[in-house]
Amino acid sequence: MSSDKRVMHEFPPLFNASSRVLILGSIPSPKSREQGFYYMHPQNRFWRMLCAALGEDIPTDINGRKQLCLRRRIALWDVLESCEIDGASDSSIRNAKPNDLSRIFGTADIKAVFTTGKKAHALYCRFFGDCLPEAICLPSTSPANRTISEAEMLEQYRRITEFL
């Protein structure tokens, strides 16, 4: 039995006028929605990969993570405003509605867009491929993705630094 339900993105994008890189996921996981910030599942490797790529210590709290991103000129958001999804399974996403990315592009001089995973990339291309910069697809940091070694993943996440 499917437990698909309509999920709304419940917290704002993180960016300011200095942001140069936009990193987009698909939609926040249940754990991220519960905590009100991005990539908050304890086994998700996003913060470990990003901080290693930037040569930074991993902040221990949400405010520290926000400050790190803003200081390093990184914007965070998700491609979707809402969708039907079974738990945190991107492969189950249906009836997707995109976020209004013009909020970020109208404020910041974004030099590169990265997506965290193939589903986020496919959704970005579907909704924004004709009008916004081409996105670079990074490997998903989800604990479910074990198709790539952490060393290989880190090499790909280091690409972010080229645009900062």
Q: What is the CA radius of gyration of the chain?
A: 15
Which of the following is catalytic: 44, 63, 95, 145?
44
3-state helix/strand/coil string of 7-75: EECCCCCECCCCCCEEEEECCCCHHHHHHCCCCCCCCCCHHHHHHHHHCCCCCCCHHHHHHHHHHCCEE
Measured CA distances, 129 to 97, 103, 110, 136 (Å)? 15, 17, 15, 12
Q: Is 44 a catalytic residue?
A: yes
45 with 141: CB under 8 angstroms? yes
Q: Dihedral of CA 132/13/44/81: which sign?
A: negative
Catalytic residue list: 44
